[in-house]
Amino acid sequence: MTRRTDRTAVVHAPDLRIETRRTGGTVRCALVGALHQDNQHAFALALHHGLRARPARLCVDLRAVELFTSSALDTLLRARQAAGVLGVALALGSPAPCVRRVLEITRCAPYLPVEEAGVRTVVRPRPQAARTGPPGTPRADRGPVGPRGVVAVRRRRG
């Protein structure tokens, strides 16, 4: 169900409320509730309508999100791609801890800039050990079962 006022649209979906508001050159989509597969379509439509207005900036406010699943992440990444094609800057506004965690785990944080109180930043993933080869390759100082140069000795009972 969608209700429109002058520059505001409110969408109610299962477990989710989306309010889209245009202010100057910015469209802000504020989400309250859970983002999952059952309401992914409503989320995608809200982002599509926000981009259709061709604003200078689209801000997706995720501070009141309680559940953020992979389908919601997929929708956000597709919206980011569409925004790039249209020349619209897309940013996440104060994402909830559950959203930050999904961005960190999936390593998508560098692709979705975050705005905290009007300051635009990029969430950096936690530093990891430097890898010299593809995943699954043993490190140079270790063999498949332990440090190199160490010989395993079996003791016989006797």
**CA distance from start to end of the chain:** 80
Q: Tell me the backbone φ, ψ of residue 13, rounded to 5 degrees.
A: -130, 170
Tell me the H-state helices in the chain.
40-52, 70-86, 97-106
Q: How far apart are CA 122 and CA 152, in angstroms?
A: 48
Most confident among 14-23, 68-77, 131-140 (mean pLDDT) = 68-77
Q: How far apart are CA 91 and CA 111, in angstroms?
A: 10
Q: How far apart are CA 46 and CA 76, in angstroms?
A: 11
* Structure confidence by residue, pLDDT tens digits, 110-125: 899 998 765 555 444 4
Lowest-pLDDT range, 18-22, 28-32, 43-47, 149-153? 149-153
Axis crossing angle, helix 40-52 with helix 70-86, rounded to the nearest 10? 10
Q: How far apart are CA 113 and CA 157, in angstroms?
A: 63
What pLDDT is recorded for position 116? 76
Instruction: Say if pTM beats, i.e. exceeds, 0.85.
Output: no
What pLDDT is recorded for position 124? 45
Q: How far apart are CA 94 and CA 17, in angstroms?
A: 17
Instruction: Tokens 């440090």: give the residue.
Output: 147
Query: What is the secondary structure of 1-31 as a DSSP string?
Result: -EEE-SSEEEEEETTEEEEEEEETTEEEEEE
* Structure confidence by residue, pLDDT tens digits, 97-109: 999 999 999 999 8
Axis crossing angle, helix 70-86 with helix 97-106, rounded to the nearest 10? 80
